[in-house]
With several copies, the nearest count.
Chain A
């Protein structure tokens, strides 16, 4: 439970449609019986594309278009509903790839890939985390130039829907700089392995690149000059992931609050005990603060302060998400410890969100250079 601030009516409609769509197409209840996350149901992305889920960060002349002046805030509104309803699918990657192709894609990419993504006909994921969970551009995959071709080698984990996506975004490193590739997952040498994980509401796999050869057509922007775009991609992904967490937090907190209002022990509702009431008050404060900083980060999109706001938001929301999951479990008690109660699904999702695209510690460390105070000597 959290308060809603007035927002542009188009964005409110967008969020409402997303919420309804989620409940109709992939309800939370469906997840209760699964251990490893379910694939998105047939036609899911296509229908989502019709609702504009992948269009907001793409200019209108390329087939996209946001509903308000603040496009990232529009995507955030969708991401919040997705988190609240534990939705499947590589939503973050698709928006990041779509935005990147709009910003720097070749004519061919804009023609063959971009519309397919915006319309949700095809899907994209990305492979950027190395086996130790580092999110730095170039950490997972490196490339070498061989004549006209680029040869990619490396191993990435936490690749959402690795087995079903049509393209994979790669921020590959080399001594001469970072290059952004969008590679068809069917390319020879690219192997996908399913993985188990903490978050059973989404399906993450691993991707191994063994001498994967791609041409210039797979490069987004200029070879070796992708560093800046790579950082921007990570920032956008971090905001959308934080939004997913805030949605999940809001729903989990609402369920818990209702439980505290109605569950009776010692002859009175447990929420009347200060121990429970004050824990919920602290949790509510943190959740309102998350809403505030998430909105500020989304509004900073396109301004010089974007990177800093993103780091602050992702750091704060990540810690708050883990704490909120713990607090809700403490209030729910035994029932929250069962598989059949939905709490654990939310706790898994929020916790994963806290780490995806940079955990709180890494985000805080990034603030010093972001403020020009330099790396550690």
Chain B
């Protein structure tokens, strides 16, 4: 494909966008509480993209995509930046950025043919059903049980931190299919219709007051062999693809917003102005520290992407640098906001979202150092897979999982009701 082709593609995309989509000034915040009316409207927007041939741009045409290159997708995203494209809230990223790419890498042609075209057309949004109350950092320790009988499977257990489950159409669910082998070797992924009998969803209220996360209970959910994603008992390799995608090694949906080097931490400068502290040298230093971190993090991400492309190391492991950088810088930046605002961040007029923003950023700051792999897990990845430091003695990787459970005194999870304990 020549650059001229890409330029032509860009020009076509631009005229279609101008003719069909509503322009938006600055990036609008992602929807955080999605109701049915909003969702119907966003599905309509996705159908419109789909009809025009601008959905699933880099996905195979066999499955409803356009079969073009990722460079085409990037070009379209760049052009689309100023326009109102579909907003599926948190499920936008999990569906288009995580679940479908993972399925494309591991799913059977039948499975893909059955599901991907619906995603492209805006009829199917996907949630990850991965973590469990007793399997947080220890993701391979899932206890959701899938039992086979002929070509039927029965799945029982509970999943947690499933962002956006309450408005998802399908879930990509990890379950244990063998208990007599070490934990990484008895896992299988399933595609689960979220309206299947036996699926119950409970929204979890978060520290910030929002309820994007859900706990999902599976109680004897009936599936078939056709719903298996990848190979039975080989789910951990699928999981690794998913984690690498999630942690920043994979493709991104929309292009990034403006480069942080373009302006000096504008949010914090505005905050300093708001409390009349722009000329305070310590405030200026804090703002500059945040800016330095922002710019360096952007450059680090570019470097990691380039290193991944150059093949110097496993991209999934390299992504740990980006994830850990976010996980350390984000809380520090949130604390800087608090330091600048001072007591002004503690109290605001009722309903004033703008004045509440600093406090909310502080409360939310540490989610980056926990969700999707804690800082500690990322440090292990960097230390062991990139720096070649020896692993610690493990007490649970070479032992049948049933034995691990017996030793640690816990009981297998199936059948737990909606009062299950929360988890790391």
Contact = CB atoms under 8 A, between A and B. Distances in A.
| Direct contact between A and B judged by beta carbons closer than 8 A | yes
Interface of A: 1, 3-6, 35, 129, 131-135, 157-158, 193-199, 204, 206, 257, 260-261, 263-278, 280-282, 284-285, 288-289, 291-293, 295-296, 305, 308-309, 312, 315-316, 322, 326, 329-330, 332-341, 344, 347-348, 351-352, 355-356, 359, 361-362, 364-365, 367-368, 371, 373, 376-377
B321 A285 contact: yes
Nearest to B421: A335
Given A197-B347, A335-B423, A268 B395 contact: yes
Contacts of B367: 337
Contact of A364 (B289, B297, B380, B393): B289
A334 B424 contact: yes
Nearest to A132: B275
Given A257-B387, A315-B288, A267 B404 contact: yes
Nearest to A315: B292
A291 B321 CA distance: 13
Contacts of A367: 264, 288, 291-292
Contact of B390 (A261, A281, A364): A261
Contacts of A348: 363
B312 A271 contact: no
Contacts of B304: 288
A351 B422 CA distance: 25
Interface stretch (B95-103, B144-152, B245-253, B276-284): B276-284
A4 B312 contact: yes
Contacts of A194: 350
Nearest to B311: A6
B383 A271 contact: yes
A344 B395 contact: no
Nearest to B401: A267
Interface string B177-211: 00000000000000000000000000011110100
B341 A133 contact: yes
Nearest to B295: A312
B370 to A, nearest CB: 5
Interface stretch (B8-16, B50-58, B73-81, B130-138): B130-138
A281 B396 contact: no
Interface size class on chain B is 35 or more
Return the 10 tightest CB-CB contacts between A and B, nearest first: A133-B343, A267-B396, A333-B424, A364-B288, A339-B205, A277-B383, A271-B389, A281-B379, A281-B382, A292-B303
Interface stretch (B24-32, B41-49, B235-243, B331-339): B331-339
Nearest to A197: B347
A315 B310 CA distance: 29
Contacts of B379: 274-275, 277-278, 281-282
Given A281-B383, A288-B321, A334 B351 contact: no
A134 B187 CA distance: 57
A195 B356 CA distance: 11
6 contacts: A3-B312, A196-B347, A272-B393, A293-B295, A315-B292, A316-B292
A46 B348 CA distance: 30
A337 B370 contact: yes
Contacts of B310: 5-6
A206 B347 CA distance: 9
Given A194-B350, A275-B379, A289 B296 contact: yes
B376 A132 contact: no
A196 B350 contact: yes
Given A265-B138, A344-B207, A351-B362, 11 more contacts: A195-B350, A196-B349, A270-B137, A281-B383, A284-B382, A289-B299, A293-B299, A330-B366, A330-B375, A332-B424, A359-B339
